[in-house]
Chains A and B, each alone.
Chain A
Amino acid sequence: DVKVTQSSRYLVKRTGEKVFLECVQDMDHENMFWYRQDPGLGLRLIYFSYDVKMKEKGDIPEGYSVSREKKERFSLILESASTNQTSMYLCASSSDIAGANVLTFGAGSRLTVL
């Protein structure tokens, strides 16, 4: 089974801190995604990557950056955390192979910014 692992399930940070959320997938997927999930808003795409060192902005990239130095790892960076970035963050990956190009999600990282 494809496994997507997010390094931290729960984080508490202070306003202005730099925050790193790490995500690793073990099935050689080409595409990786970061979403945030908020009540009533569903999932909103922050950034995605379709290849190593490649990144594309999603619908809400402001205040975030990403890094993909290796195929299996996709990091989300909050340069200066703010309280409105308190949320659940979900990492996902997918293959480009037809029929297998569904999203597989990690368990999520719940971030609280005080």
Chain B
Amino acid sequence: GNSVTQMEGPVTLSEEAFLTINCTYTATGYPSLFWYVQYPGEGLQLLLKATKADDKGSNKGFEATYRKETTSFHLEKGSVQVSDSAVYFCALRRGNFNKFYFGSGTKLNVKP
């Protein structure tokens, strides 16, 4: 089946620290991979995506590389800001009707 596992939170960092949020997946075939972000009180927004192995998605200083050999899509940012405090969801798209499968979300708290 298709599923996504991501590290549990919350993750608490100081401003300018390095961020990694781990995400691994199980899927048939070749899924597309996504990171979505949810700021307090809002819906989810697409942060970045990668559609094939070795692709790197990037946006707003965040990066993630599609690693087929390790079935991973870890999210990284070199220097976090307080405004990055949010819940981050890893997801894959696969199968009929382009269904999406989400991880359980990782809450990030960034302190000044």
Does B62 touch A at the CB level, under 8 Å? no
Q: Please encode chain A, from 12 to 49, with 1 for each CB lying within 8 Å of some chain B CB and 0 for all others.
A: 00000000000000000001010100001111010010
Which of B49, B89, B98: most chain A CB closer than 10 A? B98
Interface of B, secondary structure class, is: strand
| Contact size range, B | 20 to 34
- Number of residues from A at the complex interface, CB < 8 A: 24
Q: What secondary structure prevails in chain A residues at the interface with B? A: strand
A4 to B42 CA separation, bound complex (whole angstroms): 12
CB-CB nearest in chain B for A99 = B51
Contact B97–A107 (Cβ < 8 Å): no
Q: A40-B104, A41-B104, A42-B89 are in contact. Are A105 and B98 (CB under 8 A)?
A: no
In the complex, what distance in Å separates the CA atom of A92 from the CA atom of B103? 16
Of chain A, the residue at the smallest CB distance from B100 is A103
